[in-house]
Structure 1
């Protein structure tokens, strides 16, 4: 997948912040409403209702923030790896408050952070393709550095939003440019390009399959050569130290 990124780093940061704020403002507002009920009404029934609202909304806000931290945030230093088991847990907690049900299949491994961020953002894309709910099955296969992600999204009235094609290629969906509503698919395309992953969509009836796969995978001999070079680089300083 190719494309030209049209946003400055400042605009990208601002729009991602807007997206996160949009996602958490509803549960945070519900917490505020619950606290107001506790202050104004001493009735036992209303207090129980308020506490239930506060508890549920706090869990939702926490799940959304944890998901956003991993899907959009720095998630460690440059070159960091993330446990896919942690990503699965964050995704399950987030999707518990959404319409589609989530199924996750894949061996637990450490994976480069941008790849983990990519699969979480693909889950958001999958949710957008089945707005009435359904199921999203996530399958992670292959080497942790060169994985293949397959998401099977099934639901009534499944569709691929018309804006996805341009936004994933780093282009505005229309003359209005890119706003906070469009930033998530745009960012997903950016992650795919940074990770050298190709995105393919397939639509059959009420099932949409999203696949992300490496643009190219080194041969076994090439991967062994890289590993050996890395080992030599680590050994040279030690040899020099021994001679000193």
Structure 2
């Protein structure tokens, strides 16, 4: 029988799947309006921006919260594009580039899921804006090490002069234990802690002096 995390992933995947189709129809309708309109007014521009933002966030959350099979792979280039689109209207500047010549390579979808959840955790610590960087660790084959080989492969770091660390949430990532259930806006901390507990790569965390770093 599927456990609680699998149920959550399946429900999230279903919700995202059912939303993606009507969003696509809205996007197609907006394209037709753009083709028939000589000048784009503020109303149409607002609709287009809202569609792009909603579409980007749903695709990001589908990976971060959705169900995945252990053998699923994902192109690094696709993962980076999804993340950049989701952070496009954020106060946090995302720096994540494909390794030279390795953009078409694939990585475990489980690893991408962990990166996306970690990005959300770092974003939570940067409520006033800042910079977030994703980089492959040295010796990890540009981040292509599989989740099952026991090696950490990625570093996700955030930097801000106004870093806000909720000790209880970040301690949960380090220990896997929580004093109280997080609220919906913090659920990514719990999901990342539970996700990493399932994989031999574990998670390394440190924060202080205006920065926070996770390695997974």
TM-score, L = length of structure 1: 0.63
Distance change >3 Å, CA 11–CA 160, structure 1 → 2: farther
Contact 1:167 1:182 survives alignment (8 Å)? no
1:82 Cα deviation from its structure 2 partner: 1.1
The count of corresponding residues between Structure 1 and Structure 2 is 181
Q: 1:154 aligned to 147, 155, 159, which one?
A: 159
User: What residue ranges of structure 2 are gaps of 5+ in the alignment?
Assistant: 27-38
* 3-state secondary structure, aligned to 1:156: coil
Query: Paired residue for 1:219?
Result: none
Contact 2:93 2:132 survives alignment (8 Å)? yes
* 3-state secondary structure, aligned to 2:184: coil
User: What residue ranges of structure 1 are gaps of 5+ in the alignment?
Assistant: 1-6, 32-44, 213-244
* 3-state secondary structure, aligned to 2:52: helix
* 3-state secondary structure, aligned to 1:97: coil
Alignment of 1:207 onto 2:211: yes
Q: Which runs of 4+ in 1 moved over 6 A?
A: none
Q: 1:84 aligned to 67, 76, 83, which one?
A: 76
Distance in structure 1 (CA, Å) of the matches to 2:166 and 2:7 = 23
Root-mean-square deviation (CA, aligned residues, Å) is: 3.1
Alignment of 1:114 onto 2:106: no
Q: Deviations over 1:158-183 (max 9, x none)?
A: 13222324543444442xx3442332
Distance in structure 2 (CA, Å) of the matches to 1:9 and 1:137 = 28
Distance in structure 2 (CA, Å) of the matches to 1:190 and 1:9 = 8
Distance in structure 2 (CA, Å) of the matches to 1:152 and 1:13 = 26
TM-score, L = length of structure 2: 0.71
Distance in structure 1 (CA, Å) of the matches to 2:11 and 2:185 = 9
